[in-house]
Structure 1
Amino acid sequence: MNRCSRTWECRFAGIGLGMLTLAQPAIAADMALKAPAYQTVYDWTGFYIGGHVGYGGGSLGPGTNPIPEQGVVFPPSITGLIGGYEAGYNRQLANHVVLGVEADASFASPLDAPRLAPGPFDTSLDYVSTVRGRVGYAFGNWMPYVTGGFAWGHSHVNLNDAPGSIFAAPGQIQTGWTAGAGVEFAVGGNWSAKLEYDYIDLARRTYDLSSFGLPSVNVDPSVHLFKLGLNYRFDDNPVWTAQASANVKPALPESDDWNVHAQTTFLPQAYPAFRSPYAGANSLPGGGQVQETWTTTAFLGVRLWQGGEFYFNPELAQGFGIGGTLGVAGFPNGEAQKAGAAEPKYRAQRYYLKQTFGLGGEQEEVQDGPNQLAGKRDIDRVTLIVGRFAVGDFFDNNSYAHDPRADFMNWAMWSSAAYDFPADLPGYTRGAIVELNRKDWAIRAGAFEVPTAPNSDVLTYKTGGTVVEFEERHTIFDQPGKLRLGAFANSGNTGNYRQALAIEDADPSLDINTVMASIRHDNLKYGFYLNAEQQIVKDVGMFARASWNDGQTEILSFTDIDRSLSGGLSIKGSYWGRPNDTIGIGGAINGLSDAHRDFLAAGGLGLLIGDGQLNYRPEQILETYYAYAVDKNLTVTADYQLITNPAYNADRGPVSVFSARFHGEF
């Protein structure tokens, strides 16, 4: 099996127009020595699967008050940016006509909250799907085509002045038709990219809102979608063939200058009923609950020039953490986002440029992987990164506790939890990072955008966050280890706990959360973290983290923790004949500053917690998991977490959280 089919590697057409030059066939006839003439031929026959991203717009009908979905660089629309999947089959005839059938699904972006106009109700289109025929004509590795067929979609209406919402029932999906055109072209190996436009017209549906004193709403979607897609074609034989010579190499060979990887993670969690004499707005429900999250991500990379790389990570995310991702400071699901959704939502989570300046001397091998192109690089180097990413992609790393898709799930285990790292609701920001790397140490620093207010999904340049991290590498009794020390400071639109408490004490009739919102202005929060990892013997390692922030102002981005200690062990299964399995066991203790705990005791609400009152005790977490490697692409994990004093409240809990995790990567 070649490397591309093993790791899903290819160049993504939308990353840069420069990749189109790879589509030009090699000309063997220009060789200095005479060789038999030949012509390379691309055969479009075969099954394929793939994904697409793009932008959509259109109308849901008069008077529907459509929700503006995020367009990022484009205006918000009824879909905003879109992302989804496709699968199909092509058959190329002898006359170069290509007949095919394709099914796809496209999902909308999240709400663009600042653009939402107040109204009694809002309408949204969650997704559209199609099953289409395709007719194209093969011009070598190019194929223009037309397409059309059956379409359906799912809309719903939210009532803004009612305690609940009206959603379209599963059997009330709107159906219709679609037509469009596009061009597909081969980019290397078994990969092809496409540009496509589709018009989708769905039948009108009426929502009766008379019981709420509102007129009926006629939802009549007409949608325009512009897609950039990437497909992988399955075939036992190379899709490139050569005429007149059996020794000619493929015209579009694979390259280390681009790659594609993907992951999908399904993570259900459940907890039984626990002691809960009272509850507040942000409490974990005491009656027990089952929730799930599901993410699917593509990791696309391209080498632009010497040392220059660009990465793009489109992602679909669906589901909620237990309690609606509320109720525990050390939250038990690292895949749960504060921007949860019942239907998959598309975001361009990462897009960044990475420039590496080698300083000469000894080099090291770089393995192919997600957001990592294979090759060699100088050990002594300076790296500059600019774009959108998660702060944890480059800071506070740890070999044993850093990835909730692979190891520990609890927020206080895979992160230095008192570091209120700048992020929007899914956990990403925009900014710049510079790193100097040497053989035994590295120092890196970053500056980032921060949310406009606590728990905001909007990032701003007006204030910002910074972090500096020093990393030391060592060996103890020939066993490798690392020590990282970081210092951070965020300037954000937050309120001061003591100031809010003083105002509320002077006038007890005031609601402390209203007071807090009224006194927000630019405040500084600072702190530090210590992060250690050490291999004890082969396939056994330990980790430890300690973090602290000043605890005087509201948490802006991450979670309600001002002090945190965590640590544990990771053991690979080589000791019992399962070298790719992993057992992990660890614990965390989280705490609050005096001002923060007094604010919560007075009825204050944090980002994730707030029981209305508080019998303060440190939040204590025990987590253990077993990750079973089904094969090289699929891992199934069983995880148990015991959370004592959830949300720092000794009156509630303890809570036992049971989790499963199904993780596939390619």
Structure 2
Amino acid sequence: MHSNAQQLRSALAIALISLCGGAARAYDVNEQLSINLLLAGAGQCQEVTGGGDEQNGCRGAVPVRPEIFFNPTKQDQFFVKFGFAAGNGLNPVSPFALSPWAADLEADVRNINGRDRSYLLEAWYAHTFRFSDTNEVQVTGGIIDPAFYVNENAYANDEYTQFMNEAFVNSRNAFLPAYDVGGALVWKIDRLTLSGLGMNVGENDDGNNFNWFGVEADYNLQTPWGEGNYRVMYVGTSRAFLAPAAGLDPEPNPDLDPALDLDSAEEPDPTDKEHLSGLLLSFDQEFGKIVGAFLRLGWQREDALVDYQADYSGGFDFKGAGWGRENDNIGIGYAYLEGGSGELARTNAVEGYYRLAFNDTLALTADVQYMKDKYRTGDVIDGWVFSLRAVAEF
């Protein structure tokens, strides 16, 4: 416990010194070239029941993301993003199925997707064809991140300024890969945006190369309450994911089945591969100047071995203008995930945070998470994660 606490203090100290020291600055070289920097530091402590007392403790991490934009013309853009990090936080020691912080940490920025490439996250070129003020098509190619184009949400989409738990950053059933070779086509027609993406990913958790695609329709709606965004998305992959072990029910009932004997199930056959596919809905809506709400619903097939076959999450955002702090906000979210073809029966996750903005650059967030994983064997793991996150964007 002492060493964990020491790591936590060190991570936060490095982050706060860097954030407040003023060493980093945004730099606009000229009208075409600019450099941005995101610097974050977070400490997390967990108290877990059912996962072993040795997993209780504190860990920290400090991710850094420099970005370079080059716009030679109004229709052309080159973009490069790097990712560096010290530490992995609680993610590698957490007994929960969901990651407590869905950021790009030390393990995530090394040997990305088995490509033997580290630290370079994105590198792409985009060209925009403008037909009118309300009709344009953008084509992008290179090393891309699909989360930039699809499955967005105004209140639950940014692990650095909003929720930390992966259930509230992107839909778990979107199985979005990141930082690999692909292309995107985005067509904006007035308030409607149509997006299509394709990628080839170096390897998945099973060590297999696979292709991924996603399509989404996004409609921006102006209502008397305020702005809203309503999205429907479909995603899929090639056959590169392990099929469930023989003997497991491919459609488990959320209520535990005491007659199910997982010990007698055969091991998955590594030569038996299936594809992933899923349907997702994502909504966010303002309700006046103070309150906003979000809702995500996602379902995926269980032909392959998947943790969750259904993912339902939602919550509220409260702007600080309601109590005289214009740039502060409070976020509250709840997620229910129904087990898929693996051993998980269900997961419940709750998260709340207060983000205190000191200025346009620096913000400090206090965050609390509660998670509960229930397995089809009857085992239960639940507990709390307490976090403090500092983020500066230059």
Residue number in structure 1 paired with 2:113? none
**In 1, Cα distance between the equivalents of 2:203 and 2:170?**
23
**In 2, Cα distance between the equivalents of 1:271 and 1:568?**
23
Deviation at 1:337, TM superposition (A): 4.5
Q: Does the 8 A contact of 1:275 with 1:286 survive in 2?
A: no
Alignment of 1:484-563 (within 5 A): 484-499=231-246, 512=266, 515-516=267-268, 518-521=270-273, 523-555=274-306, 560-563=307-310
**In 1, Cα distance between the equivalents of 2:226 and 2:29?**
38
**In 1, Cα distance between the equivalents of 2:279 and 2:37?**
34
**In 2, Cα distance between the equivalents of 1:398 and 1:275?**
33
**In 1, Cα distance between the equivalents of 2:94 and 2:384?**
15
Does residue 1:399 correspond to 2:151, yes or no?
no
Which gives a bigger RCO, structure 1 or 2 (Cα 8 Å, sep 6+)? 2
Aligned with 2:168: secondary structure? helix
Residue number in structure 2 paired with 1:651? 379
Which residue, 378, 382, 399 being the options, matches 2:137?
Answer: 382
Which residue, 342, 352, 358 being the options, matches 1:624?
Answer: 352
CA RMSD across the alignment: 2.9
1:117-159 Cα offsets, whole Å, 9 max, x none, are: xxxxxxxxxxxxxxxxxxxxxxxxxxxxxxxxxxxxxxxxxxx
Aligned with 1:518: secondary structure? coil
Does residue 1:357 correspond to 2:129, yes or no?
yes
Which residue, 184, 187, 197 being the options, matches 1:436?
Answer: 187
Deviation at 1:356, TM superposition (A): 0.6
**In 2, Cα distance between the equivalents of 1:619 and 1:647?**
9
Which residue, 47, 58, 63 being the options, matches 1:272?
Answer: 47
Residue number in structure 2 paired with 1:224? none
**In 1, Cα distance between the equivalents of 2:294 and 2:242?**
34
**In 1, Cα distance between the equivalents of 2:102 and 2:388?**
13
- Cα 1:418–1:325 change in 2 (3 A) is farther
Does residue 1:578 correspond to 2:333, yes or no?
no
1:563-584 Cα offsets, whole Å, 9 max, x none, are: 1000001111111111111100
5+ long unaligned stretches in structure 1: 1-230, 235-252, 280-284, 363-378, 503-507, 601-615
Which residue, 164, 176, 179 being the options, matches 1:409?
Answer: 164
1:392-443 Cα offsets, whole Å, 9 max, x none, are: 11111111110000001111111111111234xxxx2220010110112111
5+ long unaligned stretches in structure 2: 1-23, 111-116, 250-261
- Cα 1:356–1:654 change in 2 (3 A) is same
- Cα 1:386–1:448 change in 2 (3 A) is same
**In 2, Cα distance between the equivalents of 1:628 and 1:646?**
34
1:205-238 Cα offsets, whole Å, 9 max, x none, are: xxxxxxxxxxxxxxxxxxxxxxxxxx9799xxxx
- Cα 1:586–1:232 change in 2 (3 A) is closer
**In 2, Cα distance between the equivalents of 1:318 and 1:647?**
33
Deviation at 1:349, TM superposition (A): 0.6
Aligned with 1:396: secondary structure? coil
Q: Based on CA coordinates, which of the two structures has the bigger radius of gyration? A: 1
Deviation at 1:256, TM superposition (A): 2.2
Deviation at 1:587, TM superposition (A): 0.4
Deviation at 1:389, TM superposition (A): 2.2
Among all aligned residue pairs of Structure 1 and Structure 2, give the percentage whose two residues are the same amino acid.
Answer: 21
Q: Does the 8 A contact of 1:430 with 1:449 survive in 2?
A: yes
TM-score w.r.t. structure 1 length?
0.49
Q: Does the 8 A contact of 1:452 with 1:492 survive in 2?
A: no
Residue number in structure 2 paired with 1:475? 222
Which residue, 633, 637, 647 being the options, matches 2:361?
Answer: 633
**In 1, Cα distance between the equivalents of 2:205 and 2:234?**
21
- Cα 1:619–1:303 change in 2 (3 A) is same
Residue number in structure 1 paired with 2:33? 258
Q: Does the 8 A contact of 2:243 with 2:269 survive in 1?
A: no
Deviation at 1:319, TM superposition (A): 1.3
The total of aligned residue pairs comes to 353
TM-score w.r.t. structure 2 length?
0.81
**In 1, Cα distance between the equivalents of 2:263 and 2:55?**
32
Q: Does the 8 A contact of 2:136 with 2:187 survive in 1?
A: yes
Aligned with 1:454: secondary structure? coil
